[in-house]
């Protein structure tokens, strides 16, 4: 049989559409759609609770509700506060910051303030008042306060600038501010006055430890626990019997690969604790994840018993029987206020936008490009795959206006309509990549698809006389904290003109995960069925992929091929049970091969093993390769990430893990089928192999090799079937 390598195909359209139709419903005669739903409706949930960029979380419980503050950088209104009854189902409650002051760059005059503004806030509660501490980058620390998290919020400005401030209120009502940046190699603390409007006394160093920041301080079981991030590396905890220390003991709770960093713990009404932190997750940003806390020797260990140090992909919910809620996303713009999901990019010019009662009217702002365009309205991109769609009326635009839908981040791009000539353009990093001429309609629809599983974003357009069509190439999404926005990719509604204009566009609606023309029957996103890591898993049974294709396999069924450096496949909900020690895969390569990196929960997640693949002499010349893996337990998403040189690397037919009690099948050297090594092949051998497959006994060495009658590197039910047919003389041999 001849196997010819061919050009790579695109992600299957039917599969992509099935994923994109998420939780649509009819409400108040308008279509509202929602994004990621963590709650599975069966008492369990999937991490993250919010599949979007909610970094630097600070969570407290007041009564029966949890409240979370998160970084929003230069988004206005900023410093988002969310509310939940169970740590899983969240809704946006309000924002502390109505605008930024002190630097005209927040108004996009004389420059921009990307990567600045609000980050690493800390929320606390005292005597009926909520407090949030935040230090706008380079400015003095503010203490916001309100009776209701929905606002209105006021604030006091402290005398100093305290980096990553942690606001802690002790059981006696005394308030403190712990703070410190990673370059200082220490955490300091200062006391606040009774109404939290000013500091009192002087700062003291309470912890000396290299590269710590992102402090959270909690009092639990009579002790003080100081949580700190070593950015992108690990989350550590120190403890003391006095609020001022000494915090002489420090342990690592989890590494960034297994769990994350920048987090702490929060108590539940039943007295138990759960942990929270964020994980660096590429273009989506840094989503917040949660996990149960196991107390060991007085330390709050992240993870459930037997899985300490790991934040798993799925858990039983912390609190049962609470209603399913997700943050608002879609907006029909029929109200007199914008939805709480929206934030302007920098301070808006409020004279240049309005709500007409049926639409968002966005007047063109004067700007040289999208990056510098004021009055761009944004909301967070959502994973794993989401689409944002707008309907606009561009009849009132003027020459030079650029009106449309963008992706704000690093990189950035947009699809927009221009006038004189009237055309639709698609750009990446301000460079026009594609154009549609002879546009006549004033009613246009633009769509942006963000696929965070393969890091690709695509733009589409239509009008009332034609169906959707993609415009321009895909954009590879990324995240750049230093030169970008310091945020995950965002949806952005834009209208700017380099030369100034009085033109405007009306945005009829924005819908997340909307499929126009669909019958609007809600189709829930299916949760992949858990699969044991220790059974043979066909390589083509992946849940997601980037860059590979399937093809006919000479050993039966299909294999995955066309693998190049940087490609990967994802297998969701793989159950590693009490631990895996090894990995094996059936591979073939007509080149020099490469490596299979085994990573957990993301393409850049914890590396648990690397399996080398060498050339086998052909794309369908199969061999079994093995490698050791570091101990991994519980339920995880498994990423096989492929590394190597240029060109195609290898094919994979199947793979499996084995635990400490199972060894890889040796290469057969004895009499095939002779599992008891008595020199004959009979029903006794068949019974032994059946018991091995059922894990009632363990074959090893030559016996295990003889049991692999089809010589595929694994002893399983196929070997049992072949041996039975051989004993009954239905087949003359195992070839």
Least confident of 422-426, 484-488, 526-530: 526-530
Q: What is the pLDDT of residue 550?
A: 81
The answer, yes or no, to whether residue 303 has pLDDT greater than 70, is yes
Cα 555 to Cα 572: distance, rounded to the nearest angstrom? 25
Do 654 and 670 belong to one domain? no
- Chain mean pLDDT for the chain: 89
Do 677 and 656 belong to one domain? no
Q: Domain for residue 688, yes or no?
A: yes
When comparing pLDDT for 508 and 515, which is higher?
508
Do 140 and 228 belong to one domain? yes
Do 310 and 347 belong to one domain? no
- Which residues face 584 on adjacent strands? 626, 656
User: Quick one: 263 exposed, middle or buried, by C-beta within 10 A (0-12, 13-18, 19+)?
Assistant: buried
Q: How far is CA 279 from CA 180, 231, 259, 498, in A?
A: 20, 10, 7, 38
CB of 110 closer than 8 Å to CB of 103? no
Q: Domain for residue 701, yes or no?
A: yes
Domain with 546 in it: 528-664
CB of 655 closer than 8 Å to CB of 541? no
Share of the chain above pLDDT 90, in %: 73
How many Cβ atoms sit within 10 Å of the Cβ of residue 215?
27
Do 649 and 691 belong to one domain? no
Least confident of 57-66, 501-510, 520-529, 655-664: 520-529
Do 86 and 153 belong to one domain? yes
What is the rounded average pLDDT of the residues 374-379? 97
Cα 256 to Cα 690: distance, rounded to the nearest angstrom? 42
Q: How confident is the model at residue 102 (pLDDT cuts 50, 70, 90)?
A: confident
Cα 547 to Cα 561: distance, rounded to the nearest angstrom? 9
Do 638 and 682 belong to one domain? no
Least confident of 68-72, 188-192, 342-346, 669-673: 669-673
Number of domains the chain contains: 4
DSSP class of 637 = E
Q: The tokens 């299979």 sit on which residue?
A: 596
What would the pLDDT profile of 328-338 be if each residue is shown by its tens digit?
999 999 999 99
Do 659 and 673 belong to one domain? no
Kindly list the strands in the beta sheet with 249-255, ordered across the sheet, starting from the edge strand earlier in the chain. 213-220, 223-230, 234-240, 249-255
Per the document, the length of the chain is 735
Per residue, the 3-state secondary structure of 482-544, as one string, reads: CCCCCCCCEEEEEEEECCCCCCEEEEEEEEECCCCCCCCCCCCCCCCCCEECCCCEEHHHCCE
What would the pLDDT profile of 15-53 be if each residue is shown by its tens digit?
333 333 333 333 333 334 457 899 999 999 999 999 999
Q: How confident is the model at residue 515 (pLDDT cuts 50, 70, 90)?
A: low
Least confident of 52-66, 490-504, 652-666: 652-666
Q: And the tokens for 60?
A: 């407290």
When comparing pLDDT for 119 and 698, which is higher?
119
Q: Domain for residue 168, yes or no?
A: yes
Among 664, 686, 714, identify where a domain stops: 664
Q: Domain for residue 188, yes or no?
A: yes
Q: The tokens 């080398």 sit on which residue?
A: 612
Number of alpha carbons in the 13 Å side-chain half-sphere of residue 632:
31
Among 512, 545, 577, identify where a domain stops: 512
Q: And the tokens for 260?
A: 């994350």
CB of 282 closer than 8 Å to CB of 487? no
Do 240 and 353 belong to one domain? no
What would the pLDDT profile of 526-572 be if each residue is shown by its tens digit?
567 889 999 999 999 998 887 787 888 999 989 999 898 888 999 99
What would the pLDDT profile of 269-293 be if each residue is shown by its tens digit?
999 999 999 999 999 999 999 999 9
Q: How confident is the model at residue 695 (pLDDT cuts 50, 70, 90)?
A: low
Q: Per 3-state DSSP, what percentage of the chain is helix, strand, and coil (rounded to 5)?
A: 10, 45, 50
The answer, yes or no, to whether residue 4 has pLDDT greater than 70, is no
Q: Domain for residue 326, yes or no?
A: no
Share of the chain above pLDDT 70, in %: 92
Return the sign of the alpha-carbon dihedral for residues 180, 184, 185, 187. negative
Question: Which phi and psi angles does 683 have, rounded to 5°?
Answer: -65, -25
Q: What is the pLDDT of residue 523?
A: 36
Q: How confident is the model at residue 514 (pLDDT cuts 50, 70, 90)?
A: low
Per residue, the 3-state secondary structure of 666-734, as one string, reads: CCCCCCCCCCCCCCCCCHHHHHHHHHHHCCCCCCCHHHHHHHCCCCCCCCCHHHHHHHHHHHCCCCCCC
Cα 582 to Cα 472: distance, rounded to the nearest angstrom? 44
Do 416 and 396 belong to one domain? yes
**DSSP states of 616-635:** -SEEEEEEEEEEE-----SE
The answer, yes or no, to whether residue 157 has pLDDT greater than 60, is yes
Do 550 and 632 belong to one domain? yes
Least confident of 5-9, 251-255, 596-600: 5-9
Cα 336 to Cα 68: distance, rounded to the nearest angstrom? 27
What would the pLDDT profile of 601-621 be if each residue is shown by its tens digit?
888 888 999 999 999 999 999
Among 512, 544, 576, identify where a domain stops: 512
Q: What is the pLDDT of residue 22?
A: 32
Q: What is the pLDDT of residue 257?
A: 79
How many Cβ atoms sit within 10 Å of the Cβ of residue 141?
22
Cα 390 to Cα 237: distance, rounded to the nearest angstrom? 46
Q: And the tokens for 449?
A: 């698809």
Q: What is the pLDDT of residue 730?
A: 82
Q: Domain for residue 325, yes or no?
A: no
Q: What is the pLDDT of residue 138?
A: 85
Q: Domain for residue 401, yes or no?
A: yes
Helix (H), strand (E) counts: the chain: 4, 53
Least confident of 105-114, 176-185, 193-202, 673-682: 673-682
Do 478 and 534 belong to one domain? no
The answer, yes or no, to whether residue 632 has pLDDT greater than 90, is no
Return the sign of the alpha-carbon dihedral for residues 567, 571, 12, 475. negative
Least confident of 132-146, 208-222, 312-326, 541-555: 541-555
DSSP class of 183 = G
Cα 398 → chain centroid:
40
Q: Domain for residue 28, yes or no?
A: no
User: Quick one: 515 exposed, middle or buried, by C-beta within 10 A (0-12, 13-18, 19+)?
Assistant: buried
């Amino acid at each position: 049989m001849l196997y010819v390598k061919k050009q790579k195909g695109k992600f299957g359209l039917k599969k992509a559409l099935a994923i994109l139709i998420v939780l649509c419903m009819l409400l108040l005669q308008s279509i509202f759609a929602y994004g990621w739903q963590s709650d599975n409706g069966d008492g369990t949930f999937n991490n993250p609770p919010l599949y979007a960029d909610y970094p630097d979380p600070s969570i407290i419980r007041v009564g029966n509700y949890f409240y979370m503050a998160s970084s929003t950088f230069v988004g206005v209104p900023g410093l988002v506060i969310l509310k939940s009854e169970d740590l899983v189902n969240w809704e946006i409650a309000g924002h502390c910051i109505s605008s930024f002051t002190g630097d005209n760059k927040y108004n996009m005059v004389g420059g921009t303030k990307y990567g600045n503004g609000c980050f690493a806030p800390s929320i606390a509660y005292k005597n009926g008042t909520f407090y949030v501490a935040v230090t706008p980058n380079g400015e003095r620390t503010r203490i916001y306060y309100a009776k209701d998290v929905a606002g209105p919020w006021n604030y006091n400005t402290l005398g100093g600038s305290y980096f990553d401030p942690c606001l802690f209120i002790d059981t006696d009502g005394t308030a403190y501010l712990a703070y410190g940046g990673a370059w200082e190699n220490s955490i300091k603390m200062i006391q606040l006055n009774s109404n939290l409007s000013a500091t009192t006394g002087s700062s003291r160093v309470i912890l000396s430890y290299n590269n710590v920041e992102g402090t959270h301080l909690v009092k639990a079981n009579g002790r003080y626990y100081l949580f700190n991030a070593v950015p992108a590396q690990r989350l550590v905890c120190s403890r003391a019997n006095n609020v001022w220390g000494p915090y002489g003991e420090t342990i690592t709770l989890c590494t960034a690969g297994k769990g994350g960093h920048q987090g702490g713990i929060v108590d539940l009404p039943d007295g138990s604790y759960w942990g929270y932190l964020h994980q660096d997750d590429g273009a989506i940003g840094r989503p917040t994840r949660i996990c149960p806390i196991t107390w060991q020797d007085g330390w709050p260990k992240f993870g459930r018993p037997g899985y300490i140090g790991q934040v798993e992909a799925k858990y039983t919910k912390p609190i049962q029987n609470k209603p399913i809620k997700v943050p608002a996303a879609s907006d029909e713009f029929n109200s007199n206020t914008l939805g709480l999901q929206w934030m302007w990019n920098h301070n808006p010019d409020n004279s240049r936008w309005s709500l007409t009662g049926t639409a968002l009217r966005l007047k063109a702002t004067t700007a040289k490009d999208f990056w510098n365009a004021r009055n761009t309205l944004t909301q967070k991109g959502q994973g794993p795959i989401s689409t944002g769609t707008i309907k606009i009326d561009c009849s009132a635009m003027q020459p030079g206006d650029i009106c449309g839908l963008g992706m704000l981040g690093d990189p950035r791009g947009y699809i927009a309509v221009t006038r004189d000539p009237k055309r639709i353009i698609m750009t990446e990093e301000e460079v026009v990549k594609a154009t549609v001429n002879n546009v006549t309609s004033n009613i246009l629809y633009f769509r942006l698809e963000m696929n965070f599983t393969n890091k690709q974003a695509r733009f589409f357009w239509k009008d009332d006389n034609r169906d959707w069509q993609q415009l321009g190439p895909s954009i590879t999404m990324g995240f750049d904290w230093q030169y970008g926005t310091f945020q995950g990719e965002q949806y952005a509604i834009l209208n700017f003109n380099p030369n100034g204009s009085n033109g405007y566009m009306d945005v009829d609606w924005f819908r997340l995960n909307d499929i126009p023309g669909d019958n609007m029957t809600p189709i829930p996103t299916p949760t992949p069925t858990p699969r044991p890591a220790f059974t043979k898993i066909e390589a083509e049974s992946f849940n997601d992929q980037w860059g590979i294709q399937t093809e006919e396999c000479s050993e039966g069924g299909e294999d995955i091929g066309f693998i190049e450096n940087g490609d990967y496949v994802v297998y969701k909900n793989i159950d590693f049970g009490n631990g895996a020690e090894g990995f094996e895969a059936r591979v073939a390569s007509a080149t020099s091969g490469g490596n299979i990196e085994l990573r957990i929960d993301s393409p850049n997640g914890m590396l648990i093993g690397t399996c080398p693949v060498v050339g086998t002499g052909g794309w369908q010349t199969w061999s079994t390769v093995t490698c050791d893996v570091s101990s991994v337990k519980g339920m995880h998403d498994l990423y096989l990430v492929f590394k190597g040189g240029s060109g195609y690397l290898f094919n994979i037919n199947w793979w499996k893990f084995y635990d400490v009690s199972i060894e890889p099948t040796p290469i057969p050297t004895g009499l095939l089928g002779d599992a008891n090594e008595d020199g004959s092949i009979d029903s006794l051998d068949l019974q032994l192999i059946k018991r091995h497959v059922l894990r009632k006994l363990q074959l090893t060495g030559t016996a295990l090799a003889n049991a692999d009658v089809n010589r595929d590197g694994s002893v399983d039910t196929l070997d049992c079937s072949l041996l039975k047919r051989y004993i009954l003389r239905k087949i003359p041999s195992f070839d």
